[in-house]
Amino acid sequence: MPITLYHNPRCSKSRQALALLEERGIEVRQRRYLDEPPSEAELRDLLSRLDADGHALVRTQEAEWKAMDPEVDLSDQEQVIAAIVAHPRLLERPIADDGERAVLGRPPEDVLALVDAD
């Protein structure tokens, strides 16, 4: 089963994570989340596999976040999901997902936890 990488090709960390996986011969399905934003249900599923809370998924330095902060409570997973659905740029990247576990690639080497766990 390929690893899905929530990916923004303009992001250096995202490109590094992709290269690390490809260098190891891992089949990667790139999910360019700005072109194909995840739905609320997909984000809930992703969070259930991610060893982090909803706060970790938010890029708090983005203009969209600053415009809505403090309206969104980072401790409220549903509010975080709604914010990301409304503004996909808020999704932290890269995220690698093998369907059973997901990891945030910050730093990019963290995506290798999915490979090393096998």
Q: How confident is the model at residue 112 (pLDDT cuts 50, 70, 90)?
A: very high
Q: Does the annotation mark 61 as catalytic? A: no
Q: How confident is the model at residue 71 (pLDDT cuts 50, 70, 90)?
A: confident
Quote the pTM value. 0.91
Q: What's the number of domains the chain is made of?
A: 1
pLDDT value at 22 more than 80 = yes
Note whether 6 and 91 are within 8 A (CB): yes
Which runs of consecutive H residues, i.e. helices, occur in the chain? 12-23, 40-49, 63-68, 77-86, 112-116
Q: How confident is the model at residue 33 (pLDDT cuts 50, 70, 90)?
A: very high
Q: How confident is the model at residue 69 (pLDDT cuts 50, 70, 90)?
A: low
Residue 75's DSSP bridge partners are: none
- Short-list 117, 95, 110, 92, CA closest to 46: 95
What average pLDDT does range 50-72 have in this prediction? 85
- State the CATH number of the domain containing residue 80: 3.40.30.10
Structural domain for 57, as ranges: 3-116
Amino acid symbol at 74? L
Kindly name the residue from 11, 82, 85, 112 that is annotated as catalytic.
11
